[in-house]
């Protein structure tokens, strides 16, 4: 009798444990209920997030969304990484950096969107061809490509005019033109520096100096393709040499500027995305041009870095059915339109330029960015992504910014190390 009781009790415990471990016990993809979301903490995105959540909650009182700004930390990636480890990440984060996705995935922190019946079709239907860049190495989508800020060259028309350069159509298309224009600006005292990308050593800084020009020079190559570094080829060397000349001739500064160099008139140009339009409105009389290429690629064929932020569902989420529904709601055509209107950032849709004609008629400043957003390059979605970028940045900083080594040799060394890193799990 005692033996039977023990067996029944043991069976019950095992069944309960099995139920807890199954996907349907509170964490199933169909489970619905209240969820929490985090969004970015800039004013425009907060305004968008609040109205999106309010609209959802009005329509779904049984599946309330509680939203908050992402907690402050050194970077949002670190905050998210810590939340994954602690098991208290929210269901959705509208600020997931594509560079961190491989790390979050390795941590077991993300839910593959392919696990939802319409996951793959929704991601690819909304973003089109661009979506392929966001696939992980196991062929799954752990992130929904949400918004991009295709970086371009902003220039200060007054500084250009002061240096005797045609501000309506400045010669910035080729490296030679860009260098000549830069020399004129500095010599003509248009500004202390022609351009001042952050020369600091953080892994992500190369996204705003080397990478956009590399994407443009190669017609859209990523830093790594097929587990091999691509940056040590002829195009990468030419980009590195271009920036080396800028630093060597003091057309770009080696020192980190604590303010906004473009707004403060310290630099006549900046590499920024459309988020900057509202920032510089009324402060700088600006124009925009594509990033330069060796031969001066036409504007409508030039690629650049996307500077995207995406949305992911985190594995701590219990009500994943609701999370997926909210994700689709927040990235619907209507909400994307509101996002564009409130923030000026480009939803990563394959039809963004034609989907919101009224907006672009009313805001012609943004049209150029909308057109550019169709030709953007993302950071490669590979394991050890951040270590790879830091390895690249160290080599770039040493050779290009500070001239301690030949840029070509430095890129070769970095490429060998990056190949090793890219082949590791």
Binding site for another protein (CB under 8 A): 75, 77-78, 81, 84-87, 89, 103, 106-109, 198-203, 253-256, 258, 315-316, 384, 386-387, 390, 394, 397-398, 401-402, 404
- Cβ 245 vs Cβ 402: under 8 Å: no
Stretch (H or E) spanning 287: strand 286-289
Task: For the CB of residue 41, give the shortest distance to another protein in the complex, in Å.
Answer: 18
d(CA 266, CA 247): 15
- Which of residues 20 and 47 has its CB atom nearest to another protein in the complex? 20
Q: What is the DSSP letter of 398?
A: I
Task: For the CB of residue 70, give the shortest distance to another protein in the complex, in Å.
Answer: 16
- Which of residues 44 and 394 has its CB atom nearest to another protein in the complex? 394
Task: For the CB of residue 260, give the shortest distance to another protein in the complex, in Å.
Answer: 15
d(CA 185, CA 192): 8
Closest CA relative to residue 233, chosen from 420, 422, 412: 412
- Which of residues 289 and 421 has its CB atom nearest to another protein in the complex? 421
d(CA 314, CA 125): 22
Task: For the CB of residue 11, give the shortest distance to another protein in the complex, in Å.
Answer: 23
Task: For the CB of residue 74, give the shortest distance to another protein in the complex, in Å.
Answer: 8
- Which of residues 65 and 400 has its CB atom nearest to another protein in the complex? 400
- Which of residues 164 and 403 has its CB atom nearest to another protein in the complex? 403
- Which of residues 177 and 264 has its CB atom nearest to another protein in the complex? 264
- Which of residues 125 and 403 has its CB atom nearest to another protein in the complex? 403
Non-local (6+) Cβ contacts of 406 within 8 A are 399
Q: Where are the alpha helices (DSSP H) in 208-265?
A: 210-217, 234-248
Task: For the CB of residue 113, give the shortest distance to another protein in the complex, in Å.
Answer: 17
d(CA 209, CA 243): 8
Task: For the CB of residue 402, give the shortest distance to another protein in the complex, in Å.
Answer: 5
- Cβ 345 vs Cβ 139: under 8 Å: no
- Which of residues 66 and 424 has its CB atom nearest to another protein in the complex? 424
First-residue to last-residue Cα distance in the chain? 53
Closest CA relative to residue 332, chosen from 60, 114, 146: 146
Task: For the CB of residue 305, give the shortest distance to another protein in the complex, in Å.
Answer: 20
- Which of residues 310 and 315 has its CB atom nearest to another protein in the complex? 315
Q: Would the CA dihedral through 255, 256, 258, 262 be positive or negative?
A: positive
- Which of residues 368 and 384 has its CB atom nearest to another protein in the complex? 384
Task: For the CB of residue 97, give the shortest distance to another protein in the complex, in Å.
Answer: 11
Cα separations (Å) of 404 from 176, 193, 196?
24, 21, 20
Stretch (H or E) spanning 35: strand 35-39
- Cβ 104 vs Cβ 81: under 8 Å: yes
Counting Cβ atoms within 10 Å, is residue 201 exposed (0-12), middle (13-18) or buried (19+)? Answer: middle
- Cβ 179 vs Cβ 245: under 8 Å: yes
Burial call 7-17: b when 16+ CB within 10 Å, e when fewer: eeeeeeeeeee
């Amino acid at each position: 009798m005692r033996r039977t009781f023990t067996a029944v009790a043991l069976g019950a415990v095992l069944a309960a444990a099995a139920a807890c471990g199954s996907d349907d016990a509170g964490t199933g993809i169909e489970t619905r209920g209240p969820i929490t979301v985090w969004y970015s903490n800039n004013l425009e995105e907060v305004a968008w997030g609040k109205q999106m959540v309010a609209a959802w909650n009005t329509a779904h009182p049984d599946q309330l969304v509680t939203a908050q700004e992402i907690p402050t930390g050194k970077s949002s990636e670190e905050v998210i990484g810590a939340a994954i480890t602690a098991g208290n990440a929210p269901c959705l984060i509208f600020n997931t950096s594509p560079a961190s996705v491989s790390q979050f995935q390795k941590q077991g922190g993300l839910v593959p969107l392919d696990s939802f019946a319409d996951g793959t079709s929704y991601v690819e239907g909304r973003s089109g061809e661009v979506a392929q860049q966001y696939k992980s190495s196991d062929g799954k989508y752990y992130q929904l490509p949400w918004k991009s800020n295709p970086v371009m060259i902003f220039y200060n028309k007054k500084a250009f005019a002061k240096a005797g350069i045609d501000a309506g159509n400045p010669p910035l298309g080729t490296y030679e033109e860009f260098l000549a224009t830069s020399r004129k600006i500095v010599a003509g005292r248009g500004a202390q520096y022609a351009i001042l990308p952050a020369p600091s050593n953080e892994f992500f800084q190369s996204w705003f100096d080397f990478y956009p020009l590399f994407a443009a020079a190669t017609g859209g190559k990523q830093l790594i393709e097929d587990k091999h570094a691509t940056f040590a080829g002829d195009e990468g060397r030419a980009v590195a040499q271009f920036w080396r000349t800028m630093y060597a001739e003091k057309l770009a500064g080696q020192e980190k500027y604590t303010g906004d160099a473009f707004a403060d008139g310290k630099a006549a140009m900046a590499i920024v995305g459309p988020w900057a339009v509202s920032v510089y409105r009324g402060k700088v009389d600006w124009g925009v041009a594509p990033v330069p290429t060796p031969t001066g690629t036409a504007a409508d064929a030039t690629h650049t870095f996307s500077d995207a932020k995406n949305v992911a569902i985190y594995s701590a989420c219990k009500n994943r059915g609701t999370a997926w529904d909210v994700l689709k709601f927040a990235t619907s055509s209507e909400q994307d339109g509101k996002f564009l209107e409130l923030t000026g950032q480009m939803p990563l849709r394959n039809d963004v330029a034609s989907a919101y004609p009224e907006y672009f008629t009313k805001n012609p400043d943004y049209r150029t960015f909308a057109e550019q957003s169709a030709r953007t390059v993302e950071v490669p979605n590979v394991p050890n992504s951040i270590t790879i970028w830091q390895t690249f940045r160290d080599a770039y900083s040493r050779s290009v910014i500070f001239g301690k080594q030949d840029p070509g040799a430095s890129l070769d060394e970095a490429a060998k190390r990056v190949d090793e890193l890219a082949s590791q799990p």
